[in-house]
Structure 1
Amino acid sequence: MSMRFAFYGRVSTEDNQDPEASRAWQLRRAHALIEGRGGEIVAEFFDVDKSRSIPWARRPHASALIEALKNPRRDFDAVVIGEPHRAFYGNQYSLTFPLFEHFKVPLWVPEVGGPIDPANEAHDMIMGVFGGLSKGERNRIKIRVRSAMAAITATEGRFLGGRPPYGYRLADAGPHPNPAKAADGKRLRRLEADPVTSLVVRWIFAQFISGRGVFDIAEDLTRQGIPSPSASDPARNPHRSGLAWSKSAVRTIITNPRYTGRQVWNKQRKDEVLLDVEDVALGYTTKMRWNDRAKWIWSERKVHDELVSTEDFERAQQILAVRAGGIYSKRPHRTNRPYAFRGCLFCGYCDRRMQGNWNNRQAYYRCRFPQQYARTNDIDHPKVVYLREAEIAEHVDAWLATMFAPTRLNAVIDAMAAQLIDPAQTAAEELKTQLAACDRKLKQYRAALDAGADPVEVTGWINTVQQERARLQARLQATPRDERIPREHIEEMIEHVGGLARQVTSADPADKADLYKEIGLRMTYHPQKQLVEARIIPEPPHVRSVRVRGGT
C-alpha cells in the first residue's frame, strides 16, 4: 500500500514570481523525494501572496493544514515540503514541528532525504539553519532593493512605478536599461503634464498661496464642475464616491513635492510591528508610516514637467505649517482600539466607508461627509452619521450563524448559483469602466478647446481617444455576458465562508475584523430607516488560492 502525502508550498509576489511556475517546481521536488518510496500526493496546501515572515497560523492554507493534522480521519499519512526556505522563516520550524510530533504525522523535506527525525540533532540543526537563512535572504533582498531605489531616484530620477499623481500622465521614456528586460519589450516610463488636470494643480497652488483655505478651494472646484481626482480616474480610488472635492484631496496635492519636477522617494516606509507583545509567536503585521522629510530621497535634477516652482511649493508648506501651529507633516491616524466592522460598514447617504470612533469606552462608527467634502453637491447628508457597534454586533453574528446553518446550505447555494457571476467572465464591466474613462477624457479635451488650447494638438488627442473608444466598444460587443459560477465552485466557496462564519462568535473584536473581511461582509447603514443592510460577497475559490484535494 502506497503512503499518502499532503504537499505544502508557498510563494509570495514580492519577488514577482509566477505562482503556477513556483508551485510546479516545488511540487516536482516533493514528488522526486517520495516517489522512490512509493508515496503519492493526495492533498495540496499552497499559499499564494503570503510573505514567508507570516507565521503558519496566519497563512490560510498552512493553518488549514494544521487543522487537518488534528483530524484523526485525515486522508493523508505524512506531509512533504518541496522547499523549506519558503515554508519556514526564522523560528517558525521550532514553533510548528511539535504539532507534527504530537499528532504523529511525519514531515518530509528533501534536505534530510526523507522524514525529519525528532531525536536527530543534525536534522533539528539543519532545519533551524534553513529558517535563519530564509530570514537572512529576505533581509538582504530588502536592503538591496531599497539601496538600489534610493540610488536610482537620486542619480537618475527614474519613475519607479505606481500611479501617476493627479495632474500627470505616464509617457514612454525609451527602452529599459537592463538588456534582458529591454529584450522582453519592457520600457521606462516618465511623468508628463496632463493637458487638463495640470492646469487644475497650478490653479490650486495659486489660490492657496493667495490666502484661500483648502475647504474653500474644494468647494470652488466642485462648484465649477471640475472632476475630483477620484472622479477623473475612478480606478485610483475605487472606495471613494467622486461626488465632490474633499479637503484631503486638495491638501494632498499641496503637499506633493513631485509637482516641482523632481522625483521623490522614501516618503513612507513599512514597519513590522508585533501583533501581540504577549505572544511573539503570532508574528508581525506591516504598518505603513510616514518618514520625516529629512529622510526623503530627492532627484538631483528635475526629471519631469514642473507644475509648480520650488519657491511656490516651499511657500505653500510654510503656510500650512503656520495654520497648523507648527511644522506641518502628514502623519497617519493611529489607533489601538478594536473595531470589529473595520472597513465593512458604509454610509447609506454617500456610500463612503464609515470611520471608527471611540466614545464613552465604546466603539462607534461615524461619517462626516459634509465636514470633509465640498457641500456644493446634491447629497442631503446630515452633519454627522453615528452608529454604535454594540447595537448591531449580536444581530450580525446571529444572522451569519443562521445563514450558514446546515439546514439552509442548499437554499443558499441555489440562490448564489442563480445570481453569482464569475469574475473571470466579467471583462465587460472592466471594458465599460475604460469606456467611461474615454468619455471623461473627451469631455476634458473639449473643455480645453473651449479654454483656448491649441486646436491642432487637442484634436490629435481627441482622435486618439476616439480610436481607443471604438476598439473598446468592439471588444465589449464580443464579450460573453452573464457567465455563472459552476455549482461545485459555489459549494467549495460556501464551505470556506461557512467555516469562517462559525469562528466569528467566539473571536476577539480585533480578529473579527479580519474574519468579516475574509467572508466578504459588506454592510450599509441607512439612518433614515434605522436599518443596516448586510450582504456577503465572497471571493470565488478559483480566484483565491485554494486547497485542492484528491490529487494535483
Structure 2
Amino acid sequence: MTIRFAFYGRVSTEDQQDPEASRNWQMSRARALADRHGAIVAEYFDIGQSRSIPWKRRPQASALLVALKRPDRDFDAVVVGEPQRAFYGNQYSLTFPVLAHYGVSLWVPEVGGAVDPESEAHDLIMSVFGGMSKGERTRIRIRVRTAMAAQAQVEGRFLGGRPPYGYRLLDAGPHANPAKAADGRRLHVLEPDPLAGPIVKRIFSEYLGGLGIFAIAEGLTGDGVLSPSAYDRARNRHRTGVAWSKGAIRVILTNPRYTGRQVWNKQRKDEVLLDVEDVALGHETKLRWNDRDDWVWSTDVVHEPLVDVESFERAQALMTGHGRGRSRTRTRVRRDYVLRGLVHCGVCERKMQGQWNHERPYYRCRYPREYGLANRVEHPSNVYIAEHDVLPVLDGWLAGLFAPAELDRTVAAMWEAQVDDPVDPAAARAEQVVQECDTKLARYRAALEAGTDPALVAGWTAQVQSERAAALGAVRAPVTRPRMSRDEIRAVVDALQNVHDVLVAADTADKAAVYRQLGLRLTYRPEERTVRADVHVGAQPWGYGECPRGDLNPHAR
C-alpha cells in the first residue's frame, strides 16, 4: 500500500537560521524515510515560530491539525524531519493522541518508521526528544544571558538596540568574534550627539533646579527643540512628534546610561501561561522590569557621561519623593479591555488608553496633559468613553452588517469604499538592501586600505553601487494597492458568517480577537458623543503593533 505523507517542519529565525536551508535538510530526512513507503503529497512548514509555541498557535501546524479533521484530506500520515524541531516539552503527548484519533500515523527517522502508540519504547523516545528540545532551549538562553552580563559588566560593551536620546553610535572596530568580524559585523560605542546631548544636560539641570517634568516639556517645545520622536523620524514614523511629552522627560531622567556606564538587564522576558485553566495553550512572552538591584552595570565608565553620578542620584531621589520611584515594583492587576488598541480619539486621532473606573473598563485621551504646549490645540483636557456603552450597539451593528439579507449590500459598500492609496510594499526590503550595500561598501574600502587589488575592489564597488541605486529607486517608486474584486470580498465575508452568535458566546479574549480579524476601528467624537465604526476586512488592521501612546519614546531607555 502506498502511503500519502504530509511533511511538517519548523525553523526559528531568532538565531538567524536560513529558512530555505533548514527546510531543505528537514525535507531530505523526511523523504529518505517516506519515499520507501510512499510519497510526500502535502507540506506544512512554520517559519519564525519558536519551538515553545504549541501546535495550535503555530500557523502551519494549526493548519495541519485542521486538515486532520477533513474526511477528504489528501494524506494518511505525517512525517517530520527532526522531532526536536516539531515537539517541545510535552507537545508530543498532547499532539500524538489527536493524530491517532483521526487515524493518521506519525513517522520519524529516529524510530525508523511510524510511531507505535502501543510501544512504551517509542513513547519514551519521543518524550526524551521533547525534553531534549526544551533543555537545549533553556541551556542556550542561560549561556547567552550569562555571556551578555559578563560583556556588559566587564567589557562595558554596547549590546545593541537604539542609542538613548542624546547619544549616537560610533564605530569601535571589528567584532570580537572572528566569524562575525569576517562577515563585516562591527562593534559600537556611544558618543554624545552634538545636538541632542546638550538637551539632556538641560533637562537634568532644570529638573534639579526645581522645574517639573511638564514645565520642562513645555519649555523645550516652546523653544522649538525637536522631541526625540521628531528628531529621529526614520524610526518613529508612527508617532506624532508634535511636542515633548512628560513620558519622554521621565524616561531621560531615569536612564542611568547618561552617567557614562553601560547598564544591562533592566528588563526581562517572562513566559506567562495564556490560560491557567488550559496549560496546553502554552505561554506568551511578557516584557517586565527588573528590580534595580538586578541591573548589570559596567565596572568602569565606558562612554562620555552627560550627567555626573551625583546629579543623577539626586534626580532619582527627587522622583522617588514625587511618588515615581515605586511605580515599577507595585503589584499590577490584569484588566481585560475588549477594545484595547481599537478606540481612537476623534479630536487628535491618537489611540485612547484603557482606564479602569467604577469597576468597569473605560477609554480615555489626555492629550493636553501629556504634551508640552499641547493645550494650544482645541482638545478637551479629558476624553472618556465607557466600554459598556459601546459593546451592545457595536455587536448589533456587526450582526446586521453580516446578516444573510444584508450581505450583498455589505459587499457592494466595501467594494465602493476601496481607495487607491499609493503604497510602497517593497520599501522595507529596499531600505534593508540599501543598508546591506552600505555595509559592503565600507568593507570594500577597508579591504582597499589593507592592500587588496584596486581593480578587484572597483568591480565589487560598481556592482554594489548598482544594487544600491536600484533599491533607492524602489523606495521612491510609488506602487498602487490592487483593488479587491467583488468576488474576493464576498469570499472573505462568507468566512465571517454567524458573527453575532460568535460575539454573544465569546469571552473577552475571543471577542477582542474577532474585532481585530474584522479590522475594526472605532473613532469617538466627544463633541457629538458619537462613535464611528469602520471594518476593513481582508487587509491588515490599522495600527496593530504601533506604539499606542504617541511620543513617550520608550526606546530611549
**Normalising TM by the smaller chain, what interval?**
0.7 to 0.9
Change (3 A) 1:495 1:57: farther
C-alpha separation between the residues in 2 aligned to 1:239 and 1:480?
Answer: 19
Corresponding residue of 2:264: 265
8 Å contact kept, 2:229–2:236: yes
Q: Deviations 1:487-531 (Å, cap 9, x if unpaired)?
A: 799779948984997955543112333444455443332223312
Corresponding residue of 1:543: none
Q: Deviations 1:371-408 (Å, cap 9, x if unpaired)?
A: 22223464211121112223333444455566667855
Corresponding residue of 1:392: 390
Local SS of the residue matching 2:479: coil
Alignment of 1:222-261 (within 5 A): 222-261=221-260
Corresponding residue of 2:14: 14
1:108 aligns with 2:107: yes
Corresponding residue of 2:524: 525
C-alpha separation between the residues in 1 aligned to 2:80 and 2:98?
Answer: 15
In the TM superposition, what is the alpha-carbon distance from 1:428 to its structure 2 partner? Answer: 11
Letter matched to residue 353 of structure 2: Q
C-alpha separation between the residues in 2 aligned to 1:84 and 1:300?
Answer: 44
C-alpha separation between the residues in 1 aligned to 2:339 and 2:57?
Answer: 20
C-alpha separation between the residues in 2 aligned to 1:387 and 1:212?
Answer: 33
Letter matched to residue 347 of structure 2: Y
Corresponding residue of 2:192: 193
Corresponding residue of 2:549: none
8 Å contact kept, 1:493–1:539: no
1:323 aligns with 2:322: yes
Corresponding residue of 1:367: 365
In the TM superposition, what is the alpha-carbon distance from 1:475 to its structure 2 partner? Answer: 3.2
In the TM superposition, what is the alpha-carbon distance from 1:55 to its structure 2 partner? Answer: 1.6
Corresponding residue of 1:213: 212
Letter matched to residue 218 of structure 1: A
In the TM superposition, what is the alpha-carbon distance from 1:291 to its structure 2 partner? Answer: 1.0
8 Å contact kept, 1:222–1:377: no
Q: Deviations 1:13-49 (Å, cap 9, x if unpaired)?
A: 322223333233322322222122121222x333233
Change (3 A) 1:233 1:143: same
Alignment of 1:41-440 (within 5 A): 41-42=41-42, 44-324=43-323, 327-328=325-326, 330-331=328-329, 334-376=332-374, 378-397=376-395, 407-408=407-408, 411=412, 419=420, 424-426=425-427
Local SS of the residue matching 1:287: strand
Change (3 A) 1:195 1:60: same
Q: Deviations 1:86-125 (Å, cap 9, x if unpaired)?
A: 2211111111111111111112222222222111111111
Change (3 A) 1:57 1:198: same
Change (3 A) 1:78 1:422: farther
Count of aligned positions: 502
Local SS of the residue matching 2:425: helix
C-alpha separation between the residues in 1 aligned to 2:7 and 2:161?
Answer: 36
Change (3 A) 1:11 1:318: same
Q: CA RMSD in A?
A: 3.5
Letter matched to residue 25 of structure 1: W
Corresponding residue of 2:438: none
In the TM superposition, what is the alpha-carbon distance from 1:479 to its structure 2 partner? Answer: 2.4
In the TM superposition, what is the alpha-carbon distance from 1:480 to its structure 2 partner? Answer: 5.0
In the TM superposition, what is the alpha-carbon distance from 1:151 to its structure 2 partner? Answer: 0.3
Change (3 A) 1:235 1:25: farther
Change (3 A) 1:84 1:428: closer
C-alpha separation between the residues in 2 aligned to 1:320 and 1:142?
Answer: 35
C-alpha separation between the residues in 2 aligned to 1:531 and 1:384?
Answer: 16
Q: What is the TM-score of this pair, normalised by structure 1? A: 0.81
Change (3 A) 1:303 1:275: same
8 Å contact kept, 1:417–1:490: no
Letter matched to residue 363 of structure 1: P
Change (3 A) 1:421 1:187: same
Change (3 A) 1:86 1:414: farther
Q: What is the TM-score of this pair, normalised by structure 2? A: 0.81
In the TM superposition, what is the alpha-carbon distance from 1:306 to its structure 2 partner? Answer: 1.2
8 Å contact kept, 1:417–1:484: no
Corresponding residue of 2:477: 479
In the TM superposition, what is the alpha-carbon distance from 1:356 to its structure 2 partner? Answer: 1.4
C-alpha separation between the residues in 2 aligned to 1:4 and 1:489?
Answer: 34
Change (3 A) 1:39 1:478: same
Letter matched to residue 389 of structure 1: E
1:25 aligns with 2:25: yes
Identity of aligned residues (%): 54
8 Å contact kept, 2:426–2:475: no
Local SS of the residue matching 1:101: helix
| Structure 1 range deviating more: 111-120 or 497-506 | 497-506
C-alpha separation between the residues in 1 aligned to 2:479 and 2:111?
Answer: 52
Corresponding residue of 2:461: none
Letter matched to residue 85 of structure 2: R
8 Å contact kept, 2:430–2:475: no
C-alpha separation between the residues in 2 aligned to 1:18 and 1:332?
Answer: 42
8 Å contact kept, 2:265–2:290: yes
| Structure 1 range deviating more: 215-224 or 248-257 | 215-224
